[in-house]
Structure 1
């Protein structure tokens, strides 16, 4: 009994700070909405199935009265057939429409504004390098201005890495020989944890970085400082 109790406590004692469902950007909020929507639809289906299972179990349970009865043959019920055919279709449509809209918005990186900040992100075994437009370069520390659109240009020098700041936006791969882009606007000042979300070798766990979102004036001062 004690072993099971300890096992159940592990998720609460792990101290994980990767809060995907507490986003600090509009893009992250859209992605969190899709996760919650998917979970809500799934729980609706589970609830319906469980309720029907309990009702039929109680209604058609074996009793002394119906132990020898032969159930009446039913040819079919057109109303029920229409319901259980159209309901899944409606659920899928309700999930597909916002998914397509938000996916297009995230993927449309070419529609970034002229004021957008462009940052080259280079993943390599075993660190992250961030290169700004003025030539400034940092390792394992990403500094961004709040409420300004940022376009990440993701590259890798060796194997596939995955750039991920859980509270900022979803994952995007950094692939050798191919540049991927990721557009996002952080809207909350603070310090956040980032990491590589693609297993990339024996020291994969060390590929972490810190992202600091600061006021615009503070960012300009930081950017102007010598490396």
Structure 2
């Protein structure tokens, strides 16, 4: 008895701990606080299915208790056999039809919401972005805008933004928990969905499909800004000319030369480029995270440039360019951190 009580106590403590830890983690990386249309639909389905399952659980418990109390074996009735209901058509119909109805209650809105979010019939009237999944980063190409970015996706609030998902290697999954649901990113066919943020904020995005050793590090940010700020961001990005850009310090200028001499520019474009094989670095200096996961400090950036394999195992940057010293990496870092083409940054959100 004491052992059984101990096990129950342990299970209870583990459950409480799990609930507490469920609230910990990255800001705006939860589906339980919806900030977008898709996330709200997902939350509605979570509430609906939880209510249905809770109802079923309570009914089962009530019936179990009733049967346990009413039909328990009583003293002096050891040979008593209760009335049998085998073959009772009414009961069989009831416990067959009710589960079907409950499944339909959950399935119908799920199917409706799925098709609504995947409907791209009105995409031409809205912003369209080609999203490419790569091991282990994301690339964003704004159709018709001559704007390309990586890792940070800027969108206006209150407007549908259609994302066209395709992978350059293995299967990934595009997921922004606070804004919308997830959708597979395949190498062989393009999937389309729309995302719509209700309010300004910086929201975490994840790859939700195991894609290699650094799958858990394949993070990105969605920066939702007001329509006016978004227009300003687009204007700033379009007006930025990387060929005319000159860093304002001697060290950064040396870093700019090293960036070209060390073949960094062979993979990383600054400005729109259809042939770049690595993340676009146009707005690198405005990013809240380096490589999607590192705090934006010069020290972290130098570590990444010198030994990217240590930070993201299996990434395709490892061994693709000549080795650089920490001093050279420091100069390149100074240059990259000055790439700030727009006054609209994650720091200006809600300001």
TM-score normalised over the length of structure 1 = 0.89
**Alignment correspondent of 2:140:** 130
SS of 1:193's equivalent in the other structure is strand
Comparing 43-52 and 69-78, the one that deviates more: 69-78
Q: In 2, Cα distance between the equivalents of 1:65 and 1:44? A: 37
Matched, 1:91 2:102: yes
Partner-residue secondary structure (3-state), 1:122: strand
Paired residues of 1:23 and 1:29 also in contact (CA < 8 A):
yes
User: Which moved further from structure 2: 177-186 or 188-197?
Assistant: 177-186
C-alpha distance in 2, partners of 1:81/1:204? 48
- What residue in structure 2 maps to residue 150 of structure 1? 161
SS at match of 2:121: helix
Residue in 1 that maps onto 2:31? 20
Q: Name the structure where strand makes up a greater proportion of residues.
A: 1
Cα distance in structure 2, aligned partners of 1:8 and 1:186: 32
Matched, 1:66 2:66: no
Query: Which range is displaced more, 99-108 or 72-81?
Result: 72-81
Residue 121 of structure 1 aligns to a residue whose secondary structure is strand
Instruction: Determine helix, strand or coil for the equivalent of 1:154.
Output: strand
Structure 1 pair 66/86, CA: closer, same or farther in 2 (3 Å)?
same
Q: Is the 8 A contact 1:113 1:149 kept in 2?
A: no
Q: 146-155 vs 82-91, which deviates more?
A: 82-91
What is the distance in 2 between the residues matched to 1:19 and 1:204?
Answer: 18
**Counterpart in the other structure of 1:117:** 127
User: What CA deviation, in whole Å up to 9, does each residue of 1:51-108 have, x standing for no partner?
Assistant: 1111101111122132232334556544433322322222223223322322221222
For 2:49, the equivalent position in structure 1 comes to 38
1:82 pairs with one of 83, 93, 105: 93
CA distance in structure 2 between the aligned counterparts of 1:87 and 1:70, rounded to whole angstroms: 29
SS at 2:47 equivalent: helix
Count of matched residue positions in the alignment of Structure 1 and Structure 2: 225
Q: Which runs of 5+ in 2 are unaligned?
A: 1-5, 241-281, 283-351
Match of 1:141 among 152, 163, 180: 152
Report the 3-state secondary structure (helix = DSSP H, G, I; strand = E; otherwise coil) of the residue aligned with 2:181.
strand
Partner residue in 2 for 1:47: 58
Whether the aligned pair in 2 keeps the contact of 1:195 and 1:209 (CA below 8 Å) is yes
- Using the alignment, how far apart are the partners of 1:205 and 1:190 within structure 2? 23
Distance 1:203 1:96 in 2: 34
Q: Which has the larger radius of gyration?
A: 2
Match of 2:210 among 196, 199, 202: 199
Which runs of no fewer than 5 residues in structure 1 stay unpaired? Answer: none
Deviation at 1:7, TM superposition (A): 7.8
* CA-CA distance at 1:222 after TM superposition: 1.2
Deviations 1:140-175 (A, max 9, x none): 111110011100011111111111100111111111
Higher relative contact order (CA 8 A, sep 6+): 1
User: CA 1:212–1:74 in 2, change beyond 3 Å: closer, same or farther?
Assistant: closer
Query: Are 1:165 and 2:176 matched, yes or no?
Result: yes
Q: CA, structure 1 residues 105+202, in 2 after alignment: closer, same or farther (shift >3 Å)?
A: same
Note closer, same or farther for the CA distance 1:224–1:68 as it changes in structure 2 (3 Å cut): same
